[in-house]
Amino acid sequence: MSGYTVDARIRWTEWIPFVVALAAFFLLPEYLALGARILIFILFALSLDLILGYAGIVTLGHSAFFGLGAYTAGILSAKLGITDAFVQLAAAAAAAALLGIATGAIILRTRALTLLMLTLAITAILLEVANKMSSVTGGADGLQGVVVAPILGLFRFDLYGKTAFLYCLAALFVGWWAVRRIIYSPFGAMLTGIRENGARMHAIGAPVYWRMVLIYTISATMAGIAGALIAQVNQFVGLNVLGLEPSGDLLVMLILGGVGRLYGAFVGPVIYLSVQDWLAKQYPEYWYFGVGALLITVVLFAPGGILGLFDKCLQLFRQKSSARPSAR
């Protein structure tokens, strides 16, 4: 999906997610709240794919940036009365970027399990801070009264979630565009080089550490924006945006969809959150069992995720159809 041999032009299939989203907007009006949540998690998953799928940085702490973004937007609105949506997004992005560069500069000197534990520690610390600073964050009760002024002064967040859905879709579109650019660029190719062989990247003169800090910060910024969106759409921030659980959920979504393929970040959240929503209604007590079974099935039978499986089927189909004429 990246590198010097691929054609970077957008193929028609790449518009499918956005066509589907618009179709869902018109056809499934009662699911717009779930839809907006899915769109936000796609953006969040895209940010994870940048570092995990392309640079090969494994993290269980990506919720730190998501949560910081959510609380930044929420506190600006609920405590400081700043209700402009874009100011909130910008502030959340800046906060997450700062945290990204500050923590990345320290933890990216480590590798593998150490790195994994450090990422987890950072989000756990933030969770505890949010829990204890209840005068600012609302603590365990959550942050109430997050208000967003009409977008551009025109579009009010309505009861049905129409504005919220389209707002999130627009944000996702911009995020997707930026990520796609990065992935197809020489920088993106360089990231796959780091993932494939760090020692060789050093040997060809790449400042690997700084490059990793840079992509980590970009990814953190995107995650922060996704967090701000969830605060704005829910008009509430709870402790569930921080800690292991949202990080783990996110990782599961991306693995489900397919890591390092850009569109795995689209497929994963759609399936995970839809299945979760459906199971939670059908079997309110056992829904996690269903999600777990789904993940085990995918990891066992489709290690490349659902998109990887799809690719394999397509290859098989092509081989068969190309074999047929020659057999005659």
Helix (H) or strand (E) holding 119: helix 112-132
Give me the least distance between CB of 9 and other proteins, in Å please: 9
**Cβ neighbours of residue 177 under 8 Å, at least 6 residues apart?**
none
Supply the DSSP string of 82-109, one letter for each residue. Answer: ---HHHHHHHHHHHHHHHHHHHHHHHTT
Q: With respect to other proteins, which residue has the nearer C-beta, 47 or 88?
A: 47
- Distance (Å, whole) CA 165 – CA 7: 32
Give me the least distance between CB of 104 and other proteins, in Å please: 17
Q: With respect to other proteins, which residue has the nearer C-beta, 4 or 26?
A: 4
Q: With respect to other proteins, which residue has the nearer C-beta, 205 or 325?
A: 205
Give me the least distance between CB of 179 and other proteins, in Å please: 11
- Distance (Å, whole) CA 206 – CA 129: 37
Identity of the residue numbered 241: V
- Distance (Å, whole) CA 290 – CA 297: 11
Give me the least distance between CB of 223 and other proteins, in Å please: 18
Give me the least distance between CB of 133 and other proteins, in Å please: 36
Q: Taking the C-alpha atoms of 48, 51, 56 and 58 in order, what is their torsion angle to the nearest 10 degrees?
A: -50
Q: With respect to other proteins, which residue has the nearer C-beta, 29 or 303?
A: 303
Q: With respect to other proteins, which residue has the nearer C-beta, 204 or 327?
A: 204
Q: With respect to other proteins, which residue has the nearer C-beta, 5 or 321?
A: 5
| Max CA distance (Å), the chain | 77
Give me the least distance between CB of 197 and other proteins, in Å please: 5
Q: Taking the C-alpha atoms of 30, 71, 222 and 94 in order, what is their torsion angle to the nearest 10 degrees?
A: 140
Give me the least distance between CB of 229 and other proteins, in Å please: 23
Give me the least distance between CB of 202 and other proteins, in Å please: 5
Report the interface residues with other proteins, using CB under 8 A.
2-8, 181-182, 184-190, 192-193, 196-197, 199-208, 211
- Distance (Å, whole) CA 306 – CA 258: 6
Q: With respect to other proteins, which residue has the nearer C-beta, 111 or 156?
A: 111
Give SS3 for 185: coil
Q: With respect to other proteins, which residue has the nearer C-beta, 80 or 204?
A: 204
CA distances from 253 to 37, 81, 116 (A): 13, 34, 18
**Cβ neighbours of residue 118 under 8 Å, at least 6 residues apart?**
61, 106, 107, 110
Give me the least distance between CB of 141 and other proteins, in Å please: 42
Q: With respect to other proteins, which residue has the nearer C-beta, 132 or 200?
A: 200
Residue pair 148/156 in contact (Cβ under 8 Å)? The answer is no
What tokens does 216 get? Answer: 């980590």
- Distance (Å, whole) CA 170 – CA 307: 24
